[in-house]
Amino acid sequence: MWIWAISATALCVAISGIFIAYRRQVKKTCRHLAFMKENKTNMRLRVELPFSELNELSDNINELLDSSDNIRMTAERNERNLKDAITNISHDIRTPLTSLDGFFHLLKNSDSEEERVQCTEIIQNRIDNLKYMLEELFTYTKLQNEDYKIQLESIDFNQCVCSAIVGFYNEFQEKGIEVHTDFTEDEIIVNGNAEAVQRIIGNLLKNVLDHGSREVEMTLKTNSDKVIFTCSNKVDNPDSIDISQVFSRFYKSDPARTHSSTGLGLAIAKGLAKRMNGDMNATVQDGWFTIEMRFGK
C-alpha cells in the first residue's frame, strides 16, 4: 500500500515537474517571439528541453521567420530598386525634354535657314528618343500584368528574325560593327507572335549597338524539339556586366554611355519570350556577351 502511494506521489511530482518545465519553455518561447516582433533580429527559437512537439513547433516557427525575413528583405530591395528606377526614368525623360526646350528656343530665334534645319532634325531625334523610352516603359508595365496575353499563331520564326535584322543594317554600318550570321535556310514554324519576335530581336540588337563593339555573331538552329537563337557581341569591359541583373528592369552596365536607353530592353525581350512559352538566358565568356533564346517547336 505504501509502495503504491509513494509511486503515485513520485509520478505526480514527475508529471508536475515536466508540466512546469514545459510551461516555462512555452513562456520563454513567447518572450522570444515578442522580442523578435519588436526588434529586427536574426534570433531564432531554441528549445532547451527534449520535447519533440516543442522542437517541431520551434522548427516550424523558425522556418516561418526565415521566410518572413526573406520576404521583408525582398520587399525592401524592391522598394529601393523602385525608388532608383523612378529617379532614373525621371532623369532619362527630363534630359530630352530639357534639350527640346533649348532647341525650340534656338529654332524660334534663329535667322539662319541652315541652323533652323539642323535644329529641326535634332528636335525630331529627341522626340523619337522620348517616344521610344515611353513605349518601352508602357510595354514593360503591360508585361507585369499576369492577365496580359499575346495572340499566338503559326509563324515563320526564321523570316521574322531576318526581317528584324535587316532593319538594323545601316546602324551597324555606321558604327562599324561587323555582323556574322549562321542561320538555317529551312522554314521554322513555331507557335508565336511575329510582332513580338521582331520586338525581341530589335531590343537585342539595340543592346548590341549601345554596348557592343567591333563584332556581333548571330545563329539560328533547330534540334528535334527546340528552336535556338543566339546573339553574341564583343564587349570592351566584360567585368562591368552583372550577369545576374541583365534581365532586371532599368539595369545598365554603364549608365553614362546610354542616354537614350531605359534599361528595359532586355527585361522586355525576356518577358515577351516567356509570353510565347520561350526562355532566355545570358552569359559572358572571353570578352563575348551572349544571349540565347529558346522556343519549343
The pLDDT tens digits for 116-137 are: 888 888 888 888 888 888 888 8
pLDDT bin (cut points 50, 70, 90) of residue 51 is low
Identify which has the larger pLDDT, 36 or 229: 229
Q: How much of the chain, in percent, has pLDDT values that exceed 70?
A: 82
pLDDT, average across residues 203-227: 87
Average pLDDT, the chain: 80
CB–CB of 225/297 below 8 Å?
yes
Distance CA 166, CA 184 (A): 16
The H or E element spanning position 238 is none
CB–CB of 276/295 below 8 Å?
yes
Residue-wise pLDDT tens digits, 235-294: 877 777 777 777 876 666 555 544 556 678 899 999 999 999 999 999 988 888 999 999
Q: Could you give the strand order of the β-sheet that contains 288-296, starting from the edge strand earlier in sequence?
A: 178-183, 212-222, 226-235, 288-296, 279-285
pLDDT in the model for residue 134: 84
Highest average pLDDT, of 49-58, 87-96, 187-196, comes from: 187-196
